Amino acid sequence: MTSLLMVPLVILLIQLQPKKKTTTQMVVLIALCTSLLFHFQVAFAIVCVPLVLIVLALKRVKFSFSQISLGLIAFFSTLVPSFLFELKNNFLQTKAVVAFIQNFGSAAATIEPNATGVARVIEIGKDMIANAGASFFPVHTPWWLGIPVIYLVYRHLSQRENRSEMLVVVPLLLGSFLFYLVLPAKTYYLVALLPVWIIAAGSYISKRSVVVPLVLTSAFLVLACVHTLRERATYENLAHTTTQLYAPKYTAVQTAYELAAATPFCFVSFLCHRCTITHINFLYLNEIRKGKPAPTEFSYAPGEELYNPYKQLAIQDTKPEYTMLIVEDYIYPDVFEQWWQRVGSAYTIVEEKPISEALVVYKASRK
């Protein structure tokens, strides 16, 4: 979503004329686009805000007092829901951000230990180059294929008539690079920069002869089709060998209901990945909303309610006839053995249904 918001933001910034007045509508739209970034990727938004201000300073755009006031109102208006959440929860997230800033060194190392010196420059530099390539090619490519894209951007921005565009593209790209040399960085933070590369490189190509864009479009269309077919095979393989995708989780929940055969059952799981149990719990909730009976218990062990997301539901107060054990392929055998001795030893396995190589549903009854 950050990349979608960056498209209008970059276009609006490019349209601003250096050393000239602008319309109130432009100011409000730029403020809204910048503010909305906080709702989708805070780690990029805190970088983008100062960069937008730098762009405005470099262009020396003339604002009236009323435009600045309306821009600030527009910027903070989208943050009202977040402020109300903070107010209700005793400024929980604000305290976390303040604590992160106060203990930046140790906190940054915990989230993503930064390399230092030349190694850090190379690390972020490779990520930026890979980001340039990802913006241009419709398939996964080696990181160094971003270099031709950077060359196209350079050729475009070096032309005198594109100075206004250069005052936007260079601060956003170079500024992000410099900020992330210091701040914790992950490659998906840079996804927001894809439109910047696309607009700059695309503008250069569009000004060439008609043949070049036509040939590139045709080649990319063929590559995209071939890539889609290959990714489909990859998807099917992941569905059979991992729990990353939706399909095996959905099948596991449906299988639990089928094995229960309309009798009361409880749901106990051994799921290594936090996202997996969250997704499966959501799938159960979705089935409940469709009218199916809620399991008598949701947990990772009988009687444990710490991570039960359905405490607000009127769970049927009935003794379950069966327990559905959903077990994910375990990463640490010793952890699984401890869980199985604690939980599984209390049950007799009645039926076993493998969902994939990484997920199994057991129908069990208490001994």
User: What is the pTM for the complete model shown?
Assistant: 0.68
Residues 51 and 172 sit within 8 Å (Cβ to Cβ): yes
pLDDT digits (tens, 9 = 90+) for 254-288: 999 999 988 888 888 887 666 677 777 778 888 88
The token pair at 310 is: 């359905």
CA distance 48 to 193: 10
Which of 229, 282, 269 shows the shortest CA–CA distance to 355?
A: 269
* Calpha distance 127→136 (Å, rounded): 15
> pLDDT under 50 in the chain at which residues?
312
Domains of the chain, by residue range, sit at 2-207, 246-366
Please give the Cα distance from 224 to 216 (Å, whole number).
12
How far is the C-alpha of 337 from the C-alpha of 329, rounded, in Å? 12
Which three-class secondary structure state does DSSP give residue 347? strand
CB 187 within 8 A of CB 130: yes
Residues 92-145: tens digit of each pLDDT: 877 876 776 666 656 555 555 667 789 989 999 999 999 999 988 888 888 888
- Report the distance separating Cα 121 and Cα 109, nearest Å: 17
Amino acid at 312: Q
